[in-house]
Amino acid sequence: MRTTTRCKTPVALLAIVCVASFLCAVPRSLAAEDEVSETSSKYGPIQRRLFDLDHELSLGFAYLPLDAYYKGYGVQLAYTIHFNQHLALELFRVGWSYNIDSGLKTKLIDQMPDISPGEFPAVVLWENTNLLFKFFYGKQSFLNNVVMHFEVFLTGGAAFIFRNPYPVWKGDFTNAHYEFGINAGVGARFWFSPSWSIRLDLRDTVILLTLNRGKFPLKNSAMFGLTFAVNL
């Protein structure tokens, strides 16, 4: 009888150790699963963007509101290469503005004979080459019926501006200004479909150098753009 008891004692101890180890391991496993579940539910799934662009061609309107002596209404054309979901290069954005004199300009010319219209050069043509940083993308439902996809982006780059007091078709370039500057802005895009979208841009250009006159005017020219874009 003593011999049988001695043989069963080590086996019982081993069984107790195994059961205890298992009971200690189970709570750790459950805690780890809870931690993963909490992390997943805390941040939620991030859906990959459904709409994106490769080669973008855009055409639309422009409005130049800042100058006190004229207001510009124009058209613009742009071509942009999108490298990925965050970065793009706007190879060119060219535009032409039809300028309407303000009441202040007309009043000055009428009341001060020494002032000539040639002293009020206005933005006629421009070209931008910019980098785009697309930092925000999302979608919203409109009246719980239509889902709208949109993105918000920043722009920045170089600008070339042709300013002249007279329209191009008059052929008078005596007081023309050929200028270089930098521009920065913000924009938003709303998709109609994977290929078509509408784009809003607000940009401000700081003119650093008048190339044909050797001047550093440090003037600024703001532009608001509304363009329709297609993914090629």
Asked whether residue 50 is assigned to any structural domain, the reply reads no
The answer to whether residues 70 and 6 belong to one domain is: no
Mean pLDDT computed over 128-141 = 94
Asked whether residue 49 is assigned to any structural domain, the reply reads no
Range of the domain at 132: 55-231
- DSSP-H helix ranges across the chain: 2-43, 103-111
The answer to whether residues 98 and 205 belong to one domain is: yes
The answer to whether residues 39 and 65 belong to one domain is: no
Look at the chain and count its residues.
232
The answer to whether residues 78 and 176 belong to one domain is: yes
State yes or no: pLDDT of 6 exceeds 60: no
Residue 197 binned pLDDT confidence (cut-offs 50, 70, 90):
very high
pLDDT of residue 217: 84
| CATH number assigned to the domain comprising residue 149 | 2.40.160.20
The answer to whether residues 122 and 83 belong to one domain is: yes
Mean pLDDT computed over 49-62 = 94
The answer to whether residues 137 and 170 belong to one domain is: yes
Mean pLDDT computed over 175-198 = 95
Give the Cα separation of 79 and 58 in Å (integer).
Answer: 7
Give the Cα separation of 128 and 198 in Å (integer).
Answer: 19
pLDDT of residue 111: 87
Asked whether residue 175 is assigned to any structural domain, the reply reads yes
State yes or no: pLDDT of 8 exceeds 80: no
pLDDT of residue 147: 87
pLDDT of residue 48: 77
pLDDT of residue 28: 41
Percent of the chain with pLDDT strictly greater than 90: 55
Evaluated on CA atoms 92, 98, 101, 102, the torsion sign reads negative
The answer to whether residues 12 and 85 belong to one domain is: no
The answer to whether residues 38 and 62 belong to one domain is: no
Residue 206 binned pLDDT confidence (cut-offs 50, 70, 90):
very high
Measured CA distances, 10 to 7, 15, 157 (Å): 6, 9, 80
The answer to whether residues 26 and 139 belong to one domain is: no
The answer to whether residues 87 and 40 belong to one domain is: no
Mean pLDDT computed over 10-27 = 45
pLDDT of residue 25: 41
pLDDT of residue 43: 56
pLDDT of residue 142: 81
The answer to whether residues 221 and 108 belong to one domain is: yes
Q: How many folded domains does the chain comprise?
A: 2
| 157 vs 104, residue with greater confidence | 157
The answer to whether residues 189 and 158 belong to one domain is: yes
Give the Cα separation of 212 and 221 in Å (integer).
Answer: 19
| Candidate from 40-44, 81-85, 163-167 with smallest mean pLDDT | 40-44
| Candidate from 43-57, 95-109, 125-139, 184-198 with smallest mean pLDDT | 43-57
Residue 42 binned pLDDT confidence (cut-offs 50, 70, 90):
low
pLDDT of residue 198: 97
Mean pLDDT computed over 169-178 = 90
